[in-house]
Structure 1
Amino acid sequence: MWQELEKVIEGKDEARDPARIEVCLKAISNVWKKHPDMRLGQTLQYALGNSDLWDVKDLDISEALKQME
């Protein structure tokens, strides 16, 4: 836990890197276009399985979605 906090304080936490936004949105777009009949929530839930969306890091969501491509 302290290592995560140190990363945030030092500005090295990739979960806060603005570049992650484009990566995540691109992954969502690619998968959603491939499965247009699914709603956004369905797409995310399918990609993440039983994970609680609240606790999942953006880059983990991107990786899960890439597996659906």
Structure 2
Amino acid sequence: MSPFCKLLDVRQKMNGHCRKPWNKLRVSFEHTYLSNPWVFISLVAVVVVLVATVMQTIYTVVPFYTQR
């Protein structure tokens, strides 16, 4: 692009924005997991089940060590 082009500054800012790792990660996440509502619902279900499993494990193990 010509150095006198009005869009040169916009292009440089856009390229700078796209080069940031956090922005690349966010776009990759959105493209992979938010492209379809069913994929998002499955992701939420997996997180809920994982949290419930961890909580159940903690509540099962803690009384074993606190009863003396």
Give the TM-score normalised by the residue count of structure 2.
0.34
Give the TM-score normalised by the residue count of structure 1.
0.34
Q: Which has the higher contact order (CA 8 A, sep 6+)?
A: 1
Tell which structure's C-alpha radius of gyration is larger: 2
